[in-house]
A and B are shown apart, each in its own frame.
Chain A
């Protein structure tokens, strides 16, 4: 049984038992009290009705008593009954008259139908009802009246209730009593005819008795009970229905008429179960029963019972529902947790219970989730560990293999390095490697440069005779020949099944797998080939092949080493010869401390020491003859560690030539130009040093004389002037530098690119024209060739200017005549616009043709640009261009004026900016370069313009530069 069912049942039992208990008790109590209330109500009803009936009849009885003693009747009844005089006799009429005066009133007052009087013999003599009168006067009565008379003679008598046939079928009752005269003698009987309807109305009033309740009255008659009232529930509405005493039916009435009073639940006359109260009315000997059907009386209870059951049912359903929900709310997380545990058991660690509940079960689920998360991490790290262990194992195995290989290689490498010649290198190597590789055959060929063939250097595994037959191999012959020719590895597997001609030789030795590696020097040259063959297998593994490759590389290194050694010996010999031959002194040291210094023959002679002497200057040994040499520089003694050799070694850099005055041990004094350089290994570490000393004693003397003479002449004036000029120049250069940096980034890249792109075709043009001229061998072409050469040079100069603009080379100044430059510029501009006839006005001031110190090509560039612009300006308008030059104080002034359309003021501000142009063709650099050049000359350029009047460009060049700049 699941926990949910258990919880549901528990909740149901807990909730329903008290409900059942309480409702049962409450219901039982209510049912009892209800039953008692019903019964009490009926008893009360029965008692009240019985009392009413009794009162009614007691009233009738007392009325009857009054009428018995009435004088009028006592007097007149004997008269009416006495003499058979007839009704119309005087006495009778008188008597009747008297009676009529009193009795009808009594009849009306007491609610009676009729009051009748009978004689003592039972003859009718009087009735208040006039219809009855005379009809039966003095006639003996019969039927019910007869019985009433007979009984009434003896005393008060109540007749049975009967239905009067003539009087509207009313239920009626007769009361009779005797009449006596004043002497007490019996004179007749008086009878009241009573209407029973009011009484019936009283009895049959069913108010408070529901649909089935009724009140009934019965009377015992012999062994029967007669119902005196109509029965509400009977189909027959006749009076006087009867039931027999002691019968099954009508138990209630039977009780009542037998004089009993009580209440209870019994069966009524219909045989139906009722509750009832019954009462005996002694005066009439009647039994009265008030009853109600049990069905109806307890309808409320039955309804209540139904209601209670419905409520109980609803409670049951509700409680069951709540119990189920509560049980589910507890059982569901537990089920989910158990499911989670199952999932985790299966290894699905990603499972999450994931409940948001805030109670203990929620906490449990979160703890569970955390636990599974932890478990997952632990599992993951364990997996990683396993993987890593496996990877490490593999790596270790690999490492062992590699280590074994390296051991082998190290051994062979060692042997290779110490072996004195190639033959022995290969021999020692092959034994080790072949064992390792399980190879039986091995060949080694080396390239022979003289014969351009391959020579068999070493081999194992074939007979001597065969060896001889393959002693020399051409490139491309057999496998080894091909490998040496191509410089590529060649591996032949499954040799027996191979038909290639090149493999035939190898095949004939019974080799099944064969690998040949080239031996390649570090300059890429093929030195030979190294091959291995096995008779046991048909394949080599990658590892084996790579081992072979490494071995062949080692062999290559060893061979290269040998070659280098030979070359080194050769160059050493050459160096020695040079050293001895050169006329300058060379000293060198092989140690960093410079304690042992040797020199060539010239050095030994310069320092006056013999070949065995040490030339070291820093030696502290007083006995050493070399240290008694003294060195001076600019008159100051120089310590040993400041000499070129020592400095070069210490600072590890070349020491620039320096002048030294040297005083030898024996007193000779001479001047030397000495420089030094360190000797370094390939990593730049100092191994030693070398110094070169040149005897400059003679030159020094000459210089000294010249210098003294010059000083005397130029001391004052020149020095001052040079100083002024220098500072002026520096000022200009600073200004130019400032301007240049502003333009540099703009122009630099462009200029460099243009320069390269233009210079290449220029070079080609140059070459082509050279060849053209050379081949034509025609002197007439010489002129044209020179034009091309000049123009190429000129173009080159223009490019130079462009570069100069961006890189700021100072002008290459020389003496020029400005007017000549202007003429050249005009010619250049004219050649450019030959078709346009421009009216040109020149106004040159011809004072010394305006001699000026400047760069002619640069300045020509400036004026060509400016004049070109002026020509362009007047092209459309047929204007005039005016060029003037003059000396203006410290400046040369050149003005170019045109009458063109002029330049807009806004544009005028920007004309000198780089790459600014209004022309369709143009780089926008012309005026920029102009300004740059003029400023480099320390000058100024200005442009003024007026719309529709023209433009003027003014160039001012300072005259202040001297020729020596």
Chain B
């Protein structure tokens, strides 16, 4: 079954490549670069899966995570980042519990596709 996926990453080339792979696997993909100004437009409930980077031009993945409500239905969140030791940055428990999995860059594409297909939010 196809999923609505949002990629939030400031690396445009990376986002394009990843979204192409995901689209070819039958998913609906949107890529958005958020900053302080347009953060209000972030509507987490529109998506099944959110792929999130940590470091972006003027905000961080944690800022995005704070926008996602812990109560009620919420999307799967994959925190994919080159930054090491991300678990420590998400130390407040409610942040960590919003994240489905933390995946370091670079990662195995096949494994990742399998995760999206099998895990359900």
Point out residues on A near B: beta carbons under 8 Å.
523-524, 751-752, 755-768, 770-771, 774, 792-793, 796, 803, 807
* 8 sampled A-B residue pairs with Cβ under 8 A: A524-B43, A756-B81, A756-B84, A757-B82, A766-B107, A767-B109, A770-B109, A807-B84
Find out whether the CB atom of A768 lies under 8 angstroms from the CB atom of B85. Answer: no
Residue numbers in B under 8 Å from A774 (CB-CB): 21, 24
A755 touches B17 (CB 8 A): no
**Most A CB within 10 A of own CB, among B45, B69, B106, B109:** B106
A751 to B82, alpha carbons, bound, how many Å?
A: 12
Collect the chain B residues with CB atoms within 8 Å of residue A768's CB. 13, 17
Instruction: Looking at the assembled complex, report how far the CB atom of A793 sits from the nearest CB atom of chain B, in whole angstroms.
Output: 8
Asked if B69 contacts A523 (CB within 8 A), the reply is: yes
Secondary structure at chain A's binding surface: helix, strand, loop or mixed?
helix
B82:A758 contact, CB within 8 angstroms: yes
Looking across the interface, which residue of chain A has its beta carbon closest to that of B45?
A523
Contact between A756 and B83, CB atoms less than 8 A apart: yes
Interface check B55, CB cutoff 8 A: yes
Is A760 touching B20 in the complex (CB atoms < 8 A)?
no
Contact A760 B11 (CB under 8 A): yes
Q: A756-B55, A771-B20, A771-B21 are in contact. Are A763 and B84 (CB under 8 A)?
A: no
Q: Which residues does chain B contribute within 8 Å of A762, judged by CB atoms? A: 82, 105-106
Residue on B nearest A567 in the bound complex, by CB: B72
Q: Give every chain B residue within 8 A of A807 (Cβ-Cβ).
A: 84-85
Residues of chain A within 8 A (CB-CB) of B43 are: 524
Contact A803 B21 (CB under 8 A): no
Least CB distance, A523 to chain B, in whole angstroms: 7
Q: A759-B105, A762-B105 are in contact. Are A767 and B14 (CB under 8 A)?
A: yes
Complex interface: chain B residues within 8 A of A765 (CB):
106
Complex CA gap A524/B104 in Å reads 33
Contact of A752 among B69, B72, B80, B84 (CB under 8 A): B84
Is there a chain A Cβ closer than 8 Å to B90's Cβ?
A: no
**Whole-angstrom CA separation of A33 from B72 in the bound complex:** 137
- Asked if residues A766 and B106 are in contact (CB atoms below 8 Å), the reply is yes
The 10 residue pairs across chains A and B that have the minimum distance between CB atoms: A759-B82, A767-B17, A763-B105, A764-B14, A763-B106, A756-B82, A759-B105, A756-B83, A766-B106, A760-B82
Q: With an 8 A cutoff between CB atoms, is B18 at the interface?
A: yes
Cross-chain contact B85 with A760 (CB below 8 angstroms): no
Given the interface pairs A756-B81, A756-B83, the reply to whether A763 lies near B107 with Cβ below 8 Å is yes
A764 partner, pick from B17, B20, B54, beta carbons under 8 A: B17
Nearest neighbor of A760 in chain B, beta-carbon distance: B82
Given A523-B69, A759-B104, A766 and B82 contact (CB-CB distance below 8 Å): no
* Bound-state Cα–Cα, A839 to B69, Å: 66
Q: Are A770 and B21 in contact (CB under 8 A)?
A: yes
A796 CA / B107 CA spacing, docked (Å): 10
Most buried by A among B69, B80, B109: B109
> Within the complex, what minimum Cβ distance (angstroms) separates A563 from chain B?
11
Complex: chain A residue closest to B110, CB-CB: A770
Query: How far apart sit A766 and B21, CA to CA, in the bound complex (Å)?
Result: 12
In the assembled complex, the CB of B15 is this many whole angstroms from the nearest CB of chain A, namely 9
* Docked-complex contact A755 and B83, CB < 8 angstroms: yes
CB neighbors of A among B1-46 (8 A): 11, 13-14, 17-18, 20-21, 24, 43, 45
Given A760-B82, A762-B82, A764-B13; 6 other pairs, CB 8 A cutoff: A752-B84, A755-B83, A759-B106, A764-B14, A767-B109, A774-B21
In angstroms, Cα B14 to Cα A760, docked, is 8
Task: Determine the distance from Cα of A803 to Cα of B88 in the docked complex, in whole angstroms.
Answer: 15
Rounded to whole Å, the gap between the CB of A784 and the closest CB of chain B is: 17
- Is the CB–CB distance between B69 and A796 below 8 Å? no
Complex CA–CA separation, A224 to B104 (angstroms)? 167
Min CB–CB distance B35 → chain A (angstroms): 18
**Most chain-A Cβ atoms within 10 A of its Cβ — which of B80, B84, B109?**
B84
A793 CA to B107 CA, complexed, in Å? 9
CB nearest neighbor in A for B80: A763
A752 touches B109 (CB 8 A): no
When C-beta atoms are compared, the residue in chain B nearest to A792 turns out to be: B106
A767 in complex: contacting residue of B21, B82, B85, B104, CB < 8 Å? B21
Chain A residues, Cβ within 8 Å of B17: 764, 767-768, 770-771
Using CB atoms, name the residue of chain B closest to A755. Answer: B84
- Docked Cα-Cα span, A758 to B55, in Å, equals 13
CB distance from B42 to the nearest CB of A (A): 10
Residues of B within 8 A of A757 (CB): 82
